Amino acid sequence: MGTGHIRRDVISGAIAWSQSNQPEFGDGRRIDEIFGEDCFDLAEMDRRLPRPVIAELRRTIEDGHRLERNTADAVAEAMKDWAVERGATHFTHWFHPLTGTTAEKHDSLFTPDGAGHLIAKLSGSGLIQGEPDASSFPSGGLRPTFEARGYTAWDATSPAFITRGVNSATLCIPTAFVSWTGIALDKKTPLLRSMDAISEQAMRVLRFFGTDEGVSRVISNMGCEQEYFLIDSHFLASRPDLLLCQRTLFGAQPAKGQELSDHYFGAIPERVLAFMAEVERELYRVGVPVQTRHNEVAPGQYEIAPLYEQANIASDHQMVLMETLKRVAPRYGLHALLHEKPFAGVNGSGKHTNWSLSTSTGVNLLDPRDETHTNMQFLIFLGAVIRAVHLHADLLRASVASAGNDHRLGAHEAPPAIISIFLGDMLTDLLDQFEHGQPTRTLQGGTLDLGASTLPHIPRDAGDRNRTSPLAFTGNKFEFRAVGSTMTAAWPLTVLNTIVADSLDNLCTELERVTGSDRSPESIQAAVFGVMHRVVTEHRDIVFNGDGYSDGWVEESEQRGLPNIQHSSEALLCIQNPKNVALLERFGVLNETEISARVHAYMEKLVMTVNIEATTMVRMVEQKILPAAHRYQGHLAETAAATESAGTECIGLRDKLESHVELCEKLQQSVQRLQAETEAIPEDVFEAGGFLASRLRPAMEDLREIVDILELRMPSELWPTPCYRDMLFLK
Ligand code: ADP
Ligand code: MG
């Protein structure tokens, strides 16, 4: 099938969209009317449950206490009634296995009563606990398949919701997933444990400063900015790489890329905007508070960001959001690509993960306020983050390791694989002051006069932004930018919570020791300044405000002794460094068995992903590209022969034929080499990880280079797959 054929198809698809055929949008109701209607949140429970039950439930949801069994029975009954009223027929314990996606097994809410009727039922035990046959989920070699038992346990803090499809409505109950022996096999369990760990340590700090009154716990918050690409769904059928790997494995650069910056923040194309609006409506319905939408840097790239929420809820919502993008796109003839690097040569996609800590009473503990140098408590939280990231940069890097992210980190468009912190002018000035003595001032941003009398004076931040930093302080939160677009943000956040919990523990212990029984303001201030002086002298190397994309930084970071771990296969191994195992164990986030299981499962996924990509490349070349190239070779040879037999020389054509044959030979050799490498992947998953970096990926790159040259030299109607230009620019 030639490109000509595909393009006519696509263009008619796009025209059909713009002329008619547009899906019915909504049901005329306003978004505030639909917000949360399919979400069983506290407001809904308040309406349906007796006061004592609500009080008990609040103790769990807001204060982190364990749930009583009779409370669960009452909640189950109310949840079932609500779901059935809203048309649900089934329920599922919804969880996040180590595959990185979500899992669900639907059970009917209805059972026959023996007298010819169906009755709806959901017991407290059915709500609290499930037992899926979980043998096929990755367990990192923990369980042979004959030991299949696994349990799901209700996460009461994350609201249940209803997913709707054609002919179906299913009650989804967010759960944690563990093995029969209680080993965490999912991404939620450690996240919840890390939230407890950081809450406990942060509460100690609040008690030290006497700011804990009325505070029952400290909450870690998360707000994720999700980047993604949209392509016309027609292209999928003729691109096996997109279908199987969600990224293009071949593709020459189009004449125009992102260099004009004419897409970024541009007017959103009509079809895309229609799609976005429907995604948002679906998300509002289940209570996901989406806020921001815009075009991203690369042509065909977009972003959606919800308002931040408590980390485990935000993480659940993040999974719903990714699933919704993928589910709604086909209704608009589109396909959503969430991969970190769907197209070479233009920007990849990240999931900037914004993180902050707040008290249960709503105070943001990372807010520096105006006179920051006098804000002792903030300084301790800041110091803890600096120390944590310096000591555990390797673990943070490991938390964002994946096959897809390897194409993004350090590729001069996303943060480098070197972990550092950007603090901006104001906080950096404070560190300078601590280094040389006691801080006496806080830099102020002032105001900007725009020079036109009709424009207002606007307040200016005390520092600029830095897009190149993996972890940037952005006003009253940190933004972890190294997280990849397909990832479950739960794991990077688990690591962030745990390493900061450890440093809060460290700094708070010192504050308590130094001040002893003297908790006067002077004593506290002296202790804080002492602690901050130590943090600055020992850990300042992790702070970098310069250009993270520059080669100079690679050298400088090496001198500073910061790890620069390029390959995910290498990064994953860091999780097992003794200091990291000790840390995760000490805070009860993951034990040694859980850690080794995780490393094994992630490594296995990495190896399998790259193996699928390599095999797809070989098949595309053998089944599509080489046959097309040979067909072209035949055309050239025939034309040359016919021209010469007509008595005319054709030197240029002969040259073209020769160089084409030469390129085809190179292609043949390169594909054979890649085929041989896929067959040589070692059995042992850890050896295989190293093999990816040293052998398999270089062979893939070599093959791609040849194919991309060939694409530019061949007539487009003979080229067997849609090209970058069409996929990126047809909206
Ligand atoms: P940017 O300017 O960085 O692109 P966006 O508006 O796209 O910002 O997204 C910022 C994200 O950070 C949103 O999800 C927002 O809700 C979240 N956010 C804002 N304040 C906090 C906070 N205190 N803690 C965690 N996340 C936050
Ligand atoms: Mg941002």
Nearest Cα residue to atom 24 of ligand 1 = 356
User: How is 214-230 classified by DSSP, letter by letter?
Assistant: T---EEEEEEEEEEEEE
Within-domain flag for 173: yes
Please indicate, yes or no, whether residues 544 and 614 belong to a single structural domain of this protein. no
Please tell me what DSSP assigns to residue 304: E
Q: Which residues contact 113 (CB under 8 A, 6 or more apart)?
A: 119
d(CA 643, CA 637): 10
Q: Is 351 in the pocket of ligand 1 (CB under 6 A)?
A: no
Within-domain flag for 8: no
Helix 490-515 × helix 578-586 angle, to 10°: 80
Within-domain flag for 402: yes
Q: What is the pLDDT of residue 21?
A: 57
Tens digit of pLDDT for each residue in 183-194? 898 999 999 999
Nearest Cα residue to atom 16 of ligand 1 = 307
Q: Which of 9-18, 48-57, 546-555, 612-621 has the lowest mean pLDDT?
A: 9-18
Please indicate, yes or no, whether residues 345 and 494 belong to a single structural domain of this protein. yes
pLDDT at 305 over 90: yes
Q: Is 223 in the pocket of ligand 1 (CB under 6 A)?
A: yes
d(CA 566, CA 726): 32
Cα distances (angstroms) measured from residue 507 to each of 115, 407, 502, 562, 723: 67, 37, 9, 22, 56
Within-domain flag for 247: yes
Tens digit of pLDDT for each residue in 638-663? 999 999 999 999 999 999 999 999 99
Within-domain flag for 544: yes
Domain count, the chain: 3
Structural domain ending residue among the three candidates 153, 185, 217: 185
How far apart, in Å, do the first and last CA atoms of the chain sit? 22
> Which two structure tokens, joined as six digits, stand for 558?
């090496």
User: How is 583-604 classified by DSSP, letter by letter?
Assistant: HHHHTTS--HHHHHHHHHHHHH
Please indicate, yes or no, whether residues 228 and 372 belong to a single structural domain of this protein. yes
Per cent of the chain over pLDDT 90 is 77
Paired with 336 in beta bridges are 230
Please indicate, yes or no, whether residues 516 and 534 belong to a single structural domain of this protein. yes
Q: What is the pLDDT of residue 23?
A: 64
Q: What is the pLDDT of residue 142?
A: 65
Q: What is the pLDDT of residue 6?
A: 40
pLDDT at 676 over 60: yes
Within-domain flag for 601: no
Structural domain ending residue among the three candidates 158, 185, 212: 185
Question: Residue 453: pLDDT band by 50, 70, 90 thresholds?
Answer: confident
Q: Is 455 in the pocket of ligand 1 (CB under 6 A)?
A: no
d(CA 607, CA 689): 6
Buried b (16+ CB within 10 A) or exposed e, 538-572: ebbbbbbbeebbeeebeebbeebebbebebbbbbb
Instruction: For a ligand 1 pocket test, name from 353, 477, 493, 500 the mutation site with the most ligand atoms within 8 angstroms of its C-beta.
Output: 477
Tens digit of pLDDT for each residue in 74-102? 999 999 999 999 999 999 999 998 888 88
Tens digit of pLDDT for each residue in 6-20? 444 455 456 556 655
Conformation bin of residue 728: beta by default, left when phi > 0, alpha when psi is -120 to 50: alpha
Q: Is 304 in the pocket of ligand 1 (CB under 6 A)?
A: no
Q: Which of 400, 389, 353 is nearest to 571 (CA)?
A: 400
Mean pLDDT computed over 490-513: 98
Please indicate, yes or no, whether residues 578 and 682 belong to a single structural domain of this protein. no
d(CA 434, CA 420): 20
Q: Which residues contact 664 (CB under 8 A, 6 or more apart)?
A: 626, 629, 630, 633, 710
Structural domain ending residue among the three candidates 168, 185, 202: 185
Q: Is 609 in the pocket of ligand 1 (CB under 6 A)?
A: no
Please indicate, yes or no, whether residues 177 and 226 belong to a single structural domain of this protein. no
Q: Is 364 in the pocket of ligand 1 (CB under 6 A)?
A: yes
Please indicate, yes or no, whether residues 48 and 98 belong to a single structural domain of this protein. yes
Please indicate, yes or no, whether residues 680 and 655 belong to a single structural domain of this protein. yes
**Residue count (the chain):** 731
Instruction: For a ligand 1 pocket test, name from 280, 295, 301, 308 the mutation site with the most ligand atoms within 8 angstroms of its C-beta.
Output: 308
d(CA 509, CA 208): 10
Mean pLDDT computed over 383-401: 98
User: How is 24-48 classified by DSSP, letter by letter?
Assistant: PP--S--HHHHTTTTEE-HHHHHHH
Read off the CATH number of the domain in which 81 is found. 3.10.20.70
d(CA 315, CA 354): 12
d(CA 164, CA 168): 6
Q: Is 124 in the pocket of ligand 1 (CB under 6 A)?
A: no
| Domain of 672, in residue numbers | 606-729
- Closest ligand 1 atom to 354 CA: 26
Please indicate, yes or no, whether residues 169 and 243 belong to a single structural domain of this protein. no
pLDDT at 134 over 90: no
Contact by Cβ (8 Å): 460, 450: no
Range list of H helices, 392-520: 393-399, 424-436, 490-515
Contact by Cβ (8 Å): 434, 529: yes
- Residue with tokens 């042992």, as numbered in its chain: 684
Tens digit of pLDDT for each residue in 189-232? 999 999 999 999 999 999 999 999 999 999 999 999 999 999 99
- Closest ligand 1 atom to 307 CA: 16
Q: Which residues contact 605 (CB under 8 A, 6 or more apart)?
A: 98, 99, 100, 138, 402, 403
Please indicate, yes or no, whether residues 44 and 178 belong to a single structural domain of this protein. yes
Mean pLDDT computed over 227-250: 95
d(CA 339, CA 350): 9
Mean pLDDT computed over 712-731: 93
What's the pTM value of the predicted model, to 2 decimals?
Answer: 0.94
Q: Which of 169-183, 557-571, 695-709 has the lowest mean pLDDT?
A: 169-183
Question: By three-state DSSP, how is residue 79 classified?
Answer: helix
Please indicate, yes or no, whether residues 578 and 622 belong to a single structural domain of this protein. no
Q: Which of 198, 201, 172, 1 is nearest to 93 (CA)?
A: 172
**Encoded amino acid at 470, one letter:** P
Helix 424-436 × helix 521-539 angle, to 10°: 100
d(CA 140, CA 596): 7
d(CA 360, CA 600): 37
What average pLDDT does the chain have? 92
Ligand closest to CA 292: 1
Number of Cβ within a 10 Å radius of residue 242: 23
Q: Which of 341-355, 376-390, 453-467, 687-701 has the lowest mean pLDDT?
A: 453-467
Report CA(583)–ligand 2 centroid distance (Å): 29
Within-domain flag for 27: no
Read off the CATH number of the domain in which 653 is found. 1.20.120.1560
Question: Residue 22: pLDDT band by 50, 70, 90 thresholds?
Answer: low
Contact by Cβ (8 Å): 302, 230: yes
Contact by Cβ (8 Å): 82, 91: no
Contact by Cβ (8 Å): 191, 490: yes
Within-domain flag for 29: no
Please indicate, yes or no, whether residues 529 and 611 belong to a single structural domain of this protein. no
Instruction: For a ligand 1 pocket test, name from 218, 219, 221, 225 the mutation site with the most ligand atoms within 8 angstroms of its C-beta.
Output: 225
- Closest ligand 1 atom to 356 CA: 24
Task: Decide which of 547 and 619 is more confident.
Answer: 619
Report CA(484)–ligand 2 centroid distance (Å): 13
Q: What is the pLDDT of residue 446?
A: 75
Report CA(223)–ligand 1 centroid distance (Å): 5
Q: What is the pLDDT of residue 8?
A: 46
